[in-house]
Amino acid sequence: MVEIETLEVSFVELPTIDKVEMEIRIINDGEMVYEDFYKNFMLNNSPCVIKNVCGNWKAYNEWVLNNRINCKYFIQNYGEFEVPISDCEKIDYNAQCKFTMEVKEFMEYLKHSNKEKLLYLKDWHLKAKLKEMNLRNDFYKVPEYFASDWLNEYAEDNGEDDFQFVYIGPKDSWTPLHADVYTSYSWSVNIVGKKKWVLFPPGEEEKLRDSLGNLPILFKKENYENIRYSEVIQESGDAIFVPTGWHHQVVNLYDTISINHNFINSCNIEKVWNALQKNLSDVEKEIEEFKDSPEYLKQCQLILKSIFGMNFKSFVKLIMHIAEKRLNQINSMPFTVFDSYNFGNNHIMFDLHILYKIFNLVENHALFNNSLIGNILSQFHDIKDRMKK
């Protein structure tokens, strides 16, 4: 078991970022401790690549044969599993069309050098599926840098869908320009293969929108001027950290497998809160003509959840759950994340320090006392009082 610690809470405050660092730093695993990553990349909302993080993973040793995808292993072990597939050549409403197929079918497709279609296996909840079937699911270990992960902690504790995915794509398959769900952080580790990433700092994507406000499905630099962006090649074994609000697109330069997580923690929770409020404001303006309807607020929350992924109440439930667990640990009720890590007192205190600030922001919002979240108000106040003490 590894105990993870940060700086003393009195010395750790969210920085004001006046200038975005465009250079993507490349660091060897082992040359940086958790505290350095926390301070220099998560708190600063800066991307980086960490090399050679998965050499001891079972995925690296079982899914790869002679530096290529071991299709036989996938067919033998996961062949009957149904997986989500994106067609990179079939676009509808500015998105790749999706369908499902069995792993064995996809692997047979992947083995052919002359492919009639360009298909990409994305967002496969393999770990959750194996766990559900009581099968071995220890094919990777979350790197220590990414252990503070409220999204997957909450999902695990509440039996909800996680944010842990496997991606498998042939050469030239790609992921469209986007920002991650909830404007969360993300990390991605290449098990085999190579990817080209193009990343845009927060706000730069606004220069790419068309007259209707839509982003291009892929950024082509010859079509734009004066756009700030960074490019980086992710090699086999590399982890890339994508900060909150950084739009990005990805192309597989070879047949590639990656393992990916989305995550939120005390370093970006305020950015997530701000993004939720902005999206809610946009929704309210979009259907403002129905403002006098008794269902207006409820409809705004339904639309917000459909476009942002969470609504006001689900955000409040997330922060309440994490705050209560951190308070319990302070009171000698420790817990473990990803079967490997627990947090030291400085880390817990910083989480609570930030959470108390977010609780205050939420409490001052116009929706706070609305009936939409009425059944959790008393619990919210109880947790906030415990944090204050």
Rounded to the nearest 10 degrees, the angle between the axes of helix 345-363 and helix 312-330 is 150
In this prediction the pTM is 0.94
- Structure tokens belonging to residue 129: 């599926």
What band does 193 get if pLDDT is binned at 50, 70 and 90?
A: very high
Predicted confidence at residue 11, as pLDDT, reads 47
Predicted confidence at residue 383, as pLDDT, reads 96
Every domain of the chain and the residues it spans: 2-263, 268-388
Mean pLDDT of 310-314: 94
Predicted confidence at residue 68, as pLDDT, reads 96
Give residue-wise pLDDT tens across range 62-84: 999 999 999 999 999 999 999 99
Alpha-carbon torsion, ordered 129, 133, 139, 143, to 10 deg: 60
Mean pLDDT of 118-139: 96
User: At the fourth CATH level, which superfamily is domain 2-263?
Assistant: Cupin (2.60.120.650)
Give residue-wise pLDDT tens across range 259-308: 999 999 999 999 999 999 999 999 999 999 998 898 999 999 999 999 99
> What letter represents residue 218's amino acid?
L
Q: From CA 234, how far away is CA 7, in angstroms rounded?
A: 30
> Buried (b) or exposed (e) across 44-59, using 16+ Cβ within 10 A?
bbbbbbbbebbeebeb
Q: What percent of the chain has pLDDT over 70?
A: 95
Give residue-wise pLDDT tens across range 328-350: 998 887 788 898 898 988 999 99
Predicted confidence at residue 109, as pLDDT, reads 96
Q: From CA 306, how far away is CA 37, in angstroms rounded?
A: 33
More confident residue, 182 or 334: 182
